[in-house]
Amino acid sequence: MHPYPESDWALFLDIDGTLIEHADHPEGITIPEDLPDLLTRLQLTLGGAVALVSGRTIDWMDRRFAPARLPASGQHGAEIRLAPDAPAVPIPIPRWRHPLEEALDRELATWPGTYIEHKPLSLAVHFRAVPQFGDAIMQKVIDVGTGLGDGVEFLKGRFVIEVRQGGHDKGSAVEQFMRSTLFTGRRPVFLGDDVTDEDGFRAARQAGGLAVAVGPRPTQQADHRLATPSEVRDWLNRLPEALESVSP
């Protein structure tokens, strides 16, 4: 059953596989034309308490969702902007980042079909084009990265393994948002499709909120489920009207 919205919600929205459909390449995605306007309407409806929480960078979100500009956390919690006009606050660049980048460029050159996405505070090695080699590629990334320093963490996602600095994830981002002006006192509702969203689900539920799983991936934490990003957008589109119809 679709979750019935409440006016005290704070919405946390994952991007790939949740707000937008997946594509073969990170830059091959399509942002539906009306999505920026939808996000802006949601901000107005929920007093600004709508955040994007993604593995993408905040810079990418601002460019691709313009003119919408939201509170956001990027690179799996490694950067956060608590309000649209606040500065984005990044963690320090991890010491392992440049050596890892060099090592992976070298090691994976002989693995056709892999694509390394270089993000400022994390790296993503994609293997959607060669899923049959996924396990071997992930093991190679773990072998290369493990020796490179304290705090390096590996996050297995959808046809991707991401390398990030430990201590920051989508859950820690939700916790930070919930302590900030726009979000405090509200009920967190986290929408996500991938294993990397489980930390966000956990944080939302621990704060008395809800986890809304998107797509077929099994999870122990889902309070509700929506089948596809298109269904998510339809549901979000109806949310302002649904809230108006229950307000006194």
Ligand X SMILES: O=P(O)(O)OC[C@H]1O[C@H](O[C@H]2O[C@H](CO)[C@@H](O)[C@H](O)[C@H]2O)[C@H](O)[C@@H](O)[C@@H]1O
**Could you list the active site residues?**
14
Tokens representing 54? 């993604």
Distance, in Å, from the CA atom of 234 to the CA atom of 231, rounded to the nearest integer, reads 5
Establish if 158 lies at the interface with ligand X (CB under 6 A): yes
Helical (H) or strand (E) element with 44: helix 35-45
- Taking a C-beta distance cutoff of 8 angstroms, is the pair 89, 108 a contact? no
Task: CB nearer to ligand X: give 7 or 221.
Answer: 221
Distances (CA, A) of 41 to 20, 58, 98, 208: 17, 20, 40, 25
Establish if 232 lies at the interface with ligand X (CB under 6 A): no
Site for ligand X in 33-72 (CB under 6 A): 54-56
Distance, in Å, from the CA atom of 230 to the CA atom of 182, rounded to the nearest integer, reads 27
Stretch that binds ligand X, among 140-148, 154-162, 177-185, 208-216 (CB under 6 A): 154-162
Task: CB nearer to ligand X: give 44 or 227.
Answer: 227
Task: CB nearer to ligand X: give 33 or 245.
Answer: 33
Task: CB nearer to ligand X: give 113 or 240.
Answer: 113
**Interface map 113-152 toward ligand X (x if CB under 6 A):** ----x------x-x-x------------------------
Tokens representing 214? 């998107």
Establish if 6 lies at the interface with ligand X (CB under 6 A): no
Distance, in Å, from the CA atom of 126 to the CA atom of 53, rounded to the nearest integer, reads 20
Burial of 56 by CB count in 10 Å (0-12 exposed, 13-18 middle, 19+ buried)?
buried
Establish if 196 lies at the interface with ligand X (CB under 6 A): yes
Stretch that binds ligand X, among 21-29, 100-108, 138-146, 178-186 (CB under 6 A): 21-29
**Interface map 80-119 toward ligand X (x if CB under 6 A):** -------------------------------------x--
Could you tell me which residues are beta bridge partners of residue 107?
Answer: none
Burial of 71 by CB count in 10 Å (0-12 exposed, 13-18 middle, 19+ buried)?
buried
Interhelix angle 198-206/170-178, rounded to 10 degrees, is 30
Least CB distance to ligand X at residue 76 (A): 7
- What is the contact surface with ligand X in residues (CB under 6 A)? 14-17, 22-26, 29, 54-56, 117, 124, 126, 128, 157-160, 162, 194, 196
